[in-house]
Amino acid sequence: MTTPQIAIAHGQSETEKKTVKVLVWDLDNTLWNGTLLESDSVQLRDGVRAALDTLDKRGILHSIASKNDHDLAMEKLREFGLERYFLYPQINWNSKAAGVRSIATSINIGLDAVAFIDDEPYEREEVKHAMPEIAVFDSSELDSLADRTEFIPAFITDDSARRREMYLADVERKRAEEQFIGPSEEFLATLGMEFTIARAQEEDLKRAEELTVRTHQLNTTGYTYSFEELNAFRASPNHLLLIAGLTDKFGSYGKIGLTLVEKNPEVWTIKLFLMSCRVMSRGVGTIFMNHLLGLARDAGVALQAEFLSNNRNRMMLITYKMGGFREVSRDGDFIVLQHDLDRIQPRPDWIDVEIVD
């Protein structure tokens, strides 16, 4: 069988196509016609409900950055039946740039994956000046937004369609964590987490490709692979393609981890290891990595890992080194690390781990 090739060359790991993951809305004369503080009889703009629903089904999240009275605005959104669409709305008298930045931080998403729509040229310019990475749109462009390539993901998976629900569950988790008094391990023990590691099946591959395209911060190489390439890896006896999922008492996080291992007779190489940013604080990345260490040890082979900097994924290099990997070679931003397999941490008792062959 021909060995599948890496989809991109070293140093070209970022996808060229900008994909919007969060659309931040202004309210007055953008989401609705009129100014709420001047009249509470504002009317929803034509096309808004359809745009919200269409993008939501594609897995694109929505939020709000509006200079407005918070309680009045939320009441109006409830009246329109739209409150459920918006995560971490920033409705106050602060700058909209501050609001957009707060939203990105709360969702834990890069600014280059955020778009902002507003009717006021000054507000658009202020946001663009403060955060040049953000895509900014005039409210007059509303009708064409859903047709723009930035708002059309390569795949719409089950996880995409449930993304808002999963983030709403995250809101509940964060609220519970903020209210919890005690060590983080004790809080994690209250969640009833179940972590699953399985060989990727064909029905997982659309989500697997989506993960390689969407995940940048917790991605060791940034390599992107097509559905066809991933399917070839899945079937190859010289590769191991694993996908991980997580659930807890608040609901499912969906499929949140992916790794690709190239298996040679004497050494296995982790070509790709990534985790969703939403599970950064849950400790499952270490559990996933330790599973790979155990597999290599049991197979009697050395385990190496590739790391390629994308200027945002330094945390993954730190994760490798804290996990016992040491650098064995470097070529610019491309690093090869190796683990001696002499110390593998036991699985913590606050999470149930299921391994599916």
Q: Are residues 204 and 96 in the same domain?
A: no
Q: Are residues 345 and 297 in the same domain?
A: yes
Could you tell me if residue 106 is inside a domain? yes
Half-sphere exposure of 16 (CA within 13 A, CB side): 2
Mean pLDDT across 152-170: 86
Domain extent for 80: 22-151
At 118-147, the pLDDT tens digits run 999 999 999 999 999 999 999 999 999 999
Q: Are residues 302 and 231 in the same domain?
A: yes
- Name the more confident of 158 and 352: 352
Phi, psi of 10 (to 5 degrees): -55, 140
Final residue belonging to a domain, choices 131, 151, 171: 151
Question: According to the model, what pLDDT value does residue 16 have?
Answer: 45
> How many domains does one find in the chain?
2
The CA angle 310-111-153, to the nearest 5 degrees, is 80
Residue 313 has pLDDT above 60, yes or no: yes
Dihedral of CA 211/212/214/220: which sign?
positive
Residue 41 has pLDDT above 50, yes or no: yes
- C-alpha to C-alpha distance for 277 and 136, rounded to whole angstroms: 24
Question: According to the model, what pLDDT value does residue 15 have?
Answer: 36
Mean pLDDT across 192-214: 90
Q: Are residues 104 and 234 in the same domain?
A: no
Question: According to the model, what pLDDT value does residue 281 have?
Answer: 78
Residue 13 has pLDDT above 90, yes or no: no
Q: Are residues 202 and 76 in the same domain?
A: no
Could you tell me if residue 104 is inside a domain? yes
Question: According to the model, what pLDDT value does residue 18 have?
Answer: 73
Residue 158 has pLDDT above 70, yes or no: yes
Give residue 49's pLDDT band: very low, low, confident or very high (50, 70, 90). Answer: very high
Residue 14 has pLDDT above 60, yes or no: no
* 213-238 per-residue burial string, b: 16 or more CB within 10 A, e: under 16: bbbbbbbbbbbbbeeebbbbbbebee
Could you tell me if residue 165 is inside a domain? no
Could you tell me if residue 168 is inside a domain? no
Q: Are residues 277 and 338 in the same domain?
A: yes
Q: Are residues 194 and 325 in the same domain?
A: yes
Question: According to the model, what pLDDT value does residue 40 have?
Answer: 81
Residue 75 has pLDDT above 80, yes or no: yes
CATH number, domain containing residue 209:
3.40.630.30
- C-alpha to C-alpha distance for 205 and 218, rounded to whole angstroms: 19
At 238-263, the pLDDT tens digits run 999 999 999 999 999 999 999 999 99
Q: Are residues 194 and 328 in the same domain?
A: yes
Residue 12 has pLDDT above 50, yes or no: no
Query: Which 3 state secondary structure label does DSSP give 337?
Result: strand
Could you tell me if residue 299 is inside a domain? yes
Could you tell me if residue 3 is inside a domain? no
Q: Are residues 139 and 224 in the same domain?
A: no
Q: Are residues 290 and 352 in the same domain?
A: yes
Tokens of 121: 């040229």
Chain center to CA of 54: 20
At 262-303, the pLDDT tens digits run 999 999 999 999 998 878 778 899 999 999 999 999 999 999
242 closest CA partner among 302, 279, 284: 284
CB neighbour list of residue 116: distance below 8 Å, 6 or more residues apart? 23, 24, 26, 65, 96, 100, 124, 127, 134, 135, 136, 137
Residue 344 has pLDDT above 80, yes or no: yes
Question: According to the model, what pLDDT value does residue 310 have?
Answer: 81
Q: Are residues 124 and 211 in the same domain?
A: no
Q: Running DSSP on this structure, what letter comes out for residue 171? A: H
Could you tell me if residue 10 is inside a domain? no
Could you tell me if residue 221 is inside a domain? yes
Question: According to the model, what pLDDT value does residue 8 have?
Answer: 36
Q: Taking a C-beta distance cutoff of 8 angstroms, is the pair 179, 273 a contact?
A: no
Angle between helical axes of 314-322 and 284-299 (0-180°, round to 10): 50
Phi, psi of 246 (to 5 degrees): -145, 135
Q: Are residues 113 and 232 in the same domain?
A: no
CATH number, domain containing residue 96:
3.40.50.1000
112 closest CA partner among 128, 98, 95: 128
Question: According to the model, what pLDDT value does residue 212 have?
Answer: 83
Tokens of 25: 């809305």
Residue 7 has pLDDT above 80, yes or no: no
Question: According to the model, what pLDDT value does residue 17 have?
Answer: 56
Alpha helices (H) in the chain, listed in sequence order: 48-57, 70-80, 96-107, 121-130, 158-161, 163-179, 184-190, 205-214, 227-235, 284-299, 314-322
Burial class (CB in 10 A: 0-12, 13-18, 19+), 129: exposed
